[in-house]
Amino acid sequence: RFDELTEAIQLVVKALLKYQEKHPDIQAATREGATIYDGLMRWSRSHKRNEELETEAQTRERIQSKEKNQDIEQAQQSDSLSELVAQEMAEEVKTVTEFKETPYVCWINLTQNAFQLQRAPLSVRHFGKFKRPEQAWVFTSATLSVNGNFDHFINNLGLYGAEQKVWESPFEYQNNTIMLIPKLPLPDDYSFRDKFIDVLMPLIKATHGGVLILCTSLRAVDDFAEKFLERLDTESIDRLLLKQGENSRAYLMDKFREEGNAILVGSASFWEGVDFPGDLLTLVAIDKIPFMSPDDPVLDARIKDCEERGGSPFFEIQIPHAAITLKQGAGRLIRSEDDAGVLVIGDVRLVEKGYGKRLWKGLPDFYRTREPKDALQFLTYLASHKK
C-alpha cells in the first residue's frame, strides 16, 4: 500500500509540473505534492530502518533463543555424559579399591593432563600356588641371587622348597675389570656430585669407548648431565652427551652405538636390559647405592606391613632390592668374555658401612681398588691395545 501511494503522488506531481507556470494555484499544489512526496519518502526510509532493526532484533532473539535451547540441550547432554563418566569412574574406583583375598595397595598417579588409579598387590607370595603338580618351573638370571642364595626371590614369590643352584660367571673379571670406590664425601653432601665428576673426568679422557653414567633419580640425571656438559666444554673434550628424557630410550641407545664413544646419562630404565658389548662401553659409573624411593606407595605399604609383622624393612626389603639392582647396573659393563673396562661406584657406604659390605660382597668379582690412578692406568692400557 505504501509503495502504491508514493507512486500515485509521484505521477500527480509530474502531471502538475506541465501546468504550474500557467496557474499559481497549480504551482502551489505542485510544491505541496513534492513536499508530501519527500515527507513520505523520509518516513518510508525511517519506517524501513525501524522494520530492519526490528527484524534484526527478532532474528537475534530467535538466534539467542535457539542458542540458549542448544546450550540447555548441550548442558543436559553434558550432564548426562558427566553422569555416565562419573558412574564409570565410580565403577573403576570400586574395582581398584575392592579387596578380595589378597590385600592391595591403591594410589593415584597425577600428571599434567590426567590422573591414573593404580593398584598393586601388597605381596605376591600366592604366586607359588599357581603351580600345578605336573608342572616344572625354571627361573634363571645372573642377578636374582643375594649373597649367593635365592632366599629373597623364593620367599617373595612363595616358591617354598624350590631347588637352588648357583654357577660362577665364566668371565675373567680379575683380569678384565676394575671396580673403583673413590674416597668421596657421602652422597648427600652438597659437594658430592662435583667431586665425583672430578674423579670421572680423567677416566673419560683416557677411555676409548663409551661411558654410561647410572643415576638413582631423574633429578640426578639432569644435574649430572648439566655438569658434564660444562666440563666437556671447558676441557675441550669432543664427546657427544646423551641424556635420558631428551629422546626415546631406543633412540638414545642407537645413537650411543653409532657414536662409539658417547656419554649416556640415565636412570632406572638403563640399569637393566642395556647391551653394549666390546668397546661400545668401557666405563660405567654409578652415583650411589640404588635404594628404593620412600615416596613409592608400594614400598611404603610393604614397609608398614613388614613393621607390623615385627620385621626389619631395611634389611628385608631395601638391602635385597639394592643388591639385585646394583648387580644389574654393574652387569652393564661386561657382556661377553672379550669385554673389559672400569666400574666406578661413588658411594663410600659400600666399604664403610656394615650393610654396604654385604652389598659389596654380592657384586661380581672385579679387581677392587680405592685409588683412581689404578683405574686410569688400566683404561690407558686398554686404549693403547684396543682391537
The chain-wide mean pLDDT, for the chain, equals 81
Architecture per CATH, 171-384:
3-Layer(aba) Sandwich (3.40)
Contact 336, 387 (CB under 8 A): no
Contact 264, 325 (CB under 8 A): no
When pLDDT is averaged across residues 67-80 and rounded to a whole number, the result is: 56
Cell of 54: 526490528
Q: What are phi and psi of 345, to 5 degrees?
A: -115, 120
Contact 249, 269 (CB under 8 A): yes
Q: How far apart are CA 60 and CA 63, in angstroms?
A: 5
Examine the pLDDT at 89 and tell me if it is beyond 90.
Answer: no
When pLDDT is averaged across residues 200-228 and rounded to a whole number, the result is: 95
Instruction: Kindly list the domain boundaries of the chain, sorted by start residue.
Output: 2-87, 171-384
Q: How far apart are CA 140 and CA 204, in angstroms?
A: 34
Look at residue 109 in the predicted model and tell me its pLDDT: 77
Look at residue 169 in the predicted model and tell me its pLDDT: 82
Examine the pLDDT at 115 and tell me if it is beyond 90.
Answer: no
Cell of 364: 661380581
Q: Which of 18-22, 108-112, 234-238, 271-275 has the highest mean pLDDT?
A: 234-238
Number of C-beta neighbours around residue 103 at 10 A? 11
* Each residue's pLDDT tens digit, 164-182: 888 888 888 888 999 999 9
Examine the pLDDT at 380 and tell me if it is beyond 80.
Answer: yes
When pLDDT is averaged across residues 11-19 and rounded to a whole number, the result is: 55
- Give percent of the chain with pLDDT exceeding 90: 39
Q: Out of 106-110, 227-231, 235-239, 246-250, pick the least confident.
A: 106-110
Q: Which of 105-114, 225-234, 352-361 has the highest mean pLDDT?
A: 225-234
* Each residue's pLDDT tens digit, 264-273: 999 988 998 8
* Each residue's pLDDT tens digit, 284-310: 999 999 998 878 888 888 888 889 889
Alpha-carbon torsion angle 184, 188, 192, 194, nearest 10: 170
Look at residue 192 in the predicted model and tell me its pLDDT: 96
Amino acid symbol at 341: G
Look at residue 48 in the predicted model and tell me its pLDDT: 52
Look at residue 108 in the predicted model and tell me its pLDDT: 77
Exposure string of 224-243, with b = 16+ CB inside 10 Å and e = fewer, is bbeebeebbeeeeeeeebbb
